[in-house]
Structure formats: structure tokens, C-alpha cells
Amino acid sequence: MTSKHKLGIWMDYSEAHLIADESQDSEAAFIYNTFKHENIEYAVIKGEELMCQKIQQHLAAYYKKISDVIAHYKEVILFGPTDAKTELLKILKVDFRFENIKIEVQTSDKMTEYQKQALVQTLFAMQ
């Protein structure tokens, strides 16, 4: 497995914007949580416990997709407006695959794509 250097991830509970900082060449990708509003309506009909289980299953799958990408990097910054980033960090800390990856968390608001890329470049330049 080849390790890339630095990755910034702006995330909330519905999507993650991955911004790879490979020198001047910045590639971007998105990962989405597949839980939809229609799932909530169906789950409410079936019961609250089922609804909670479905939400947790989709969230776990969402975090797994993100962590599979993170495994290929040496340094990662998680940032965004919700607690999703800290929840993901807790998951990563107990997984031995991430023990040699430097992972930091930063709180930020909703941002434009340009602001996200600029913040990633600024944060990595400060290190």
C-alpha cells in the first residue's frame, strides 16, 4: 500500500469532502452517508428501535468508507461543523491501522469549496 502525504476532510453527518494536498495538485472527492429521509419514515412505522439501528448502520458504513481512504495517508485533518469528526476520530484511535497516521481535528463552519481547500493548505503549511 502506497502512502500519500496529507488529506483534509471537511465532514458532517451527511457528506465528507476529501481534499488531498499533494503539493500544488489538489484532488477532491466526496463520500456520502446513504441514509435518506425516506428511511426515517419507514423506520418510524416499524418502530423507534429499528430507526436507531438503521441510522447507526448507515453511519458506521459512512465512517468505514472514510477510514478506508484515511488509511492511505500519513497526515489527516478532520474539520467541519458537527461532532461527526470527533466520532470518527474515536473510531480511528482504537484501530491499529491508524496508529502511525497523524490525525488532527479542527472545528469549522459551513464553507465553500474554495474556503475548504484554502483552509487545508493553510493548516498543512503551518505544520
Query: What region does 75 belong to: left with phi over 0, alpha with psi -120 to 50, or beta?
Result: beta
Q: With helix as H, strand as E and coil as C, how does 17-45 read?
A: EEEEEECCEEEEEEEECCCCHHHHHHHHH
Instruction: Inform me whether the pLDDT recorded for 25 exceeds 50.
Output: no
Please write the tens of the pLDDT for every residue from 71-105: 999 999 999 999 999 999 999 999 999 999 999 99
- pTM (whole model) above 0.85: no
Where do the structural domains in the chain lie, given as residue ranges? 4-125
Q: Quick one: angle between helices 48-70 and 37-46, nearest 10?
A: 140
The residue type of 9 is I
Q: How high is the pLDDT of residue 45?
A: 66
> Which residues are CB-neighbours of 127 under 8 A, at least 6 positions away?
75
The residue type of 2 is T
Per CATH, is 4-125 categorized as 3.30.420.60? yes
